[in-house]
Amino acid sequence: MANMTVFGSQWGDEGKGKIVDLLSSEVQCVVRYQGGNNAGHTVIVNGQKYVLHVIPSGILHDGILCVISNGVVLDPFVFLTEIDNLNAKNIDTSPKRLFVSPKTHLIMPYHKVLDSARENMKSDGKIGTTGRGIGPCYEDKMARIGVRAGDLSDPNLVRQKIEIALKEKNALFKGLYNVDEMSVEEVFKEVMSIADRLLPYVQDTTELLYSLHKQGKSALFEGAQGVMLDIDHGTYPFVTSSNTICNNASVGSGFPSEYINEHIAIVKAYTTRVGAGPFPTELFDETGDFLREKGGEYGATTGRTRRCGWFDACVLRECYRICKPTTFALTKLDVLGGLDEIKICVAYSCEGKTLSYPPESAAGLAKCEPIFESMPGWKEDISSCSKWEELPENARKYVEKLEELIGVKAGFVSVGPDRNQTIRR
Ligand code: IMP
């Protein structure tokens, strides 16, 4: 099996967790390479539901190694809680199979406070962050004042770094955001209280990935969020703080891109978005409510209602030209069942021009009107279809239309949340 990335092609929540889980049994290692616990992957195995935020869903397969690599920002408290929850379900999370890069930046208590304080202060232009401290942690990484997982073995260094970070943050908390200042000693104690539990997981993951590769073993690089939330290529500023595109798998893990030969884009059969920002195909009517209810479109991380709309081919063209996926996995096709008509946005109309790709700015995208093509729906319940031929003709035609618009074939079609409800082509 080749090394591969599995990544979101829209605004996140495409159902990556399920496909990663499915493919995990075919590789020896699963790697998270960006983002943090802003992501939430729901995986259902034999009716048992698991919601994972930071630990790769590969953990649900015996013997698969799981890596949280340097590109991730890790909330150590969430990480340990997730370990406890998995242990309660008899899943092995020992440091023999779960690894954290020493270069992974830690989300500190003050990052969460800053994230919320900043959002709360904005009257206009709220991004709608998950409030998990993701942005502030990446900011400190770039400002070169971040605390990394490997630092925990050097308490003096951790204290020094907290001192430097809090000098600035406390000035903001007091002078600008009107929230309580934080004490260096208290933060230091809180963070060091988990050092003994976290440190056994901290290992040189660059070396681990390299040596697995040399032994002919393969890895799956699991992305979080989606292309349109990428800090560079998404609908800036309504984006997350990392590069979500598959190409970041290499930088975010220290594994050569040349060795990664498969890129699987996860494509939801319609579109959803959480938080603020333009969304041309958004539905404000009962069809939007239908998709939300039938698709269970409520955030796995924050429980927030997801905005729902029709499939947008401009978004997928953008994904294709930036990431060049080798195939795509179409998820939640079953959710569309029961609709008389299904619309597909094939282009935008924007100030008298017809566009095939999203404009470069969020303001430009907000001016775009979708140009729709319509397809007939299907009434049958497809959730037990296990072969392509078993799908109703209109469902097959819909998938083929998407393939034509995206420019690559669907290797997987998901017809329900369970691992087994997936048609492979
Ligand atoms: P942050 O990543 O918490 O800073 O949030 C920035 C934006 O990305 C907000 O609009 C979030 O709703 C969105 N976002 C972050 N993670 C996810 C995700 O896993 N799925 C969908 N949206 C996300």
Residue 95: per-residue pLDDT: 97
Nearest-CA residue for ligand 1 atom 15 is: 38
CA dist., res. 260 & res. 251, Å (int) = 12
For residue 17, the model assigns a pLDDT of 87
pLDDT in tens, 314-368: 999 999 999 999 999 999 999 999 999 999 999 999 999 999 999 999 999 999 9
Contacts of 373 (CB under 8 A, 6+ apart): 343, 344, 346, 401
Q: What is the pLDDT of residues 225-262, one digit of tens each?
A: 999 999 999 999 999 999 999 999 999 999 999 999 99
Taking the C-alpha atoms of residue 61 and residue 40, their distance in angstroms, rounded to an integer, is 18
pLDDT at 301: 75
Ligand 1 in contact with 38 (CB < 6 A)?
Answer: yes
Q: Given this model, what pLDDT does residue 4 score?
A: 98
pLDDT at residue 140, as a whole number: 98
Ligand 1 mean position to 359 CA, how many Å? 21
pLDDT band at 57 (very low <50, low <70, confident <90, very high): confident
CA 360 from chain center: how many Å? 22
Between 308 and 47, name the one with better pLDDT. Answer: 308
Among 53-57, 171-175, 367-371, the least confident range: 53-57
pLDDT digits (tens, 9 = 90+) for 90-126: 999 999 999 999 999 999 999 999 999 999 988 777 8
- Alpha-carbon separation of residue 319 from 34, 48, 73, 189, 310 (angstroms): 17, 33, 24, 44, 17
Q: Is 41 a catalytic residue?
A: yes
Q: Give the model's pLDDT for residue 1.
A: 67
What tokens appear for 79 in the block?
């990480």
Distance CA 132, CA 224 (A): 14
Task: For the chain, give the percent of residues with pLDDT over 70.
Answer: 100
- Give the rounded distance of the alpha carbon of 161 from its chain centre: 29
Which has the higher per-residue pLDDT, 120 or 205?
205
Q: From the CB of 128, is ligand 1 less than 6 Å away?
A: yes
Q: Judge whether 381 and 392 are in contact, CB under 8 Å.
A: no
Per the prediction, the chain carries an average pLDDT of 95
Q: What is the per-residue pLDDT across 123-181, written as a single tens digit (0 to 9) for each?
A: 777 888 999 999 999 999 999 999 999 999 999 999 999 999 999 999 999 999 999 99
One-character DSSP codes across 211-241: HHHHTT--EEEEEEEEGGG-TTTSSTTSS-S
pLDDT of residue 332: 97
| Cα–Cα distance list, 396 to 160, 267, 340, 387 (Å) | 60, 16, 15, 11
Q: Please give the pLDDT value at position 300.
A: 76
DSSP letter for 325, please: -
Whether a cis peptide bond, with omega within 30° of 0, leads into 278 is no
Instruction: Determine the average pLDDT of the residues in 396-421.
Output: 95
Radius of gyration of the chain, Cα coordinates, nearest whole angstrom:
22
Strands of the sheet with 410-414, listed across from one edge: 98-100, 65-68, 29-32, 219-226, 3-8, 260-268, 327-331, 410-414, 422-424
Q: Which backbone phi and psi does 291 adopt, to 5 degrees?
A: -65, -40
Q: Are 409 and 327 in contact (CB under 8 A)?
A: yes
Q: Where residue 307 falls among pLDDT bands split at 50, 70, 90?
A: very high
Kindly give the number of the ligand 1 atom that is closest to the alpha carbon of 38.
Answer: 16
Percent of the chain with pLDDT over 90: 89
Q: Cα(10) to centroid of ligand 1, in Å? A: 12
DSSP result, 25-50: TTSSEEEE-SB-TT--EEEEETTEEE
Q: How far is it, in rounded angstroms, from Cα 296 to Cα 289?
A: 10
Tokens of 389: 């031929």
The verdict on whether 230 is a catalytic residue reads no
Residue type, position 319, single letter: C
User: Where do the H-state alpha helices sit in 42-149?
Assistant: 76-88, 109-121, 134-142
Q: Is 229 a pocket residue for ligand 1 (Cβ < 6 Å)?
A: yes
Secondary structure class of 181 (helix, strand, coil): coil
Q: At 414, is the secondary structure helix, strand, or coil?
A: strand
Reported confidence tier of residue 74, pLDDT bands at 50, 70, 90: very high
Determine which residue's CA is closest to atom 21 belonging to ligand 1. Answer: 12
- The predicted-structure confidence for 275-302, as pLDDT tens digits, reads as follows 899 999 999 999 999 999 999 999 877 7
Task: Say if pTM beats, i.e. exceeds, 0.75.
Answer: yes
Number of residues that make up the chain: 425
